Amino acid sequence: MDLLRIGGKLISTSRIHRVVDRILELRSQGQSQQEVAEQIGVDRTFISRLEGLGEVRKGGRVAVIGFPVANKEQIEAIAREEGVDFAWVMTNEERWQFAEERSGAKLANELMMLFSQLRDFDKVVFLGSDMRIKLVEAMLAPETVLGVELGKSPMHQDKYVDPEEFRALLRSLMGS
């Protein structure tokens, strides 16, 4: 049962969860704190404090893309821990498998969709070869791309990314 007795009140936890979910949904759709507060029937400062309780970080949206990365799982875990919004890291084998499993047209379409999505990020950390970094900078706004060179192109082996350097880079980029 989701009912709690607090003093002389009977509280429904499921109702609280529904209202909080609705508040966050409206805020994520772009409504102001004041608009949501008026719609839900609470004080605007409640909305602000609620957001503060769940805040992971301030700042823009960050993506991490990288290949060929030897310690892929470790780098993805650090990206998650640091609050990165999107991470796609592959080993050399995975990147070739990704390319070979698709026809030329399908591969081109998927990559165009990916770059279209990446334009929505304030910063894109790209782990890759010197040539790939230049290509990513050319396809996105160069000032949004932070290239981390793993080697000279062409690269045929996975490269180890220092986890603590990567974490420090994300923290400095995200201001945490």
Average pLDDT by stretches of 10, the chain with 176 residues: 90 94 93 95 94 74 96 97 95 96 95 93 96 95 94 96 97 80
pLDDT on residue 153: 95
For the beta carbon of residue 121, count every other beta carbon within 10 angstroms.
20
Q: Which domains does the chain have, with CATH numbers?
A: 3-54 (1.10.10), 62-174 (3.40.50)
pLDDT on residue 51: 87
pLDDT on residue 176: 58
Report the amino acid identity of residue 50: L
pLDDT on residue 57: 55
pLDDT on residue 173: 87
pLDDT on residue 58: 63
For the beta carbon of residue 166, count every other beta carbon within 10 angstroms.
22
pLDDT on residue 75: 98
Q: How far apart are CA 16 and CA 18, in angstroms?
A: 5
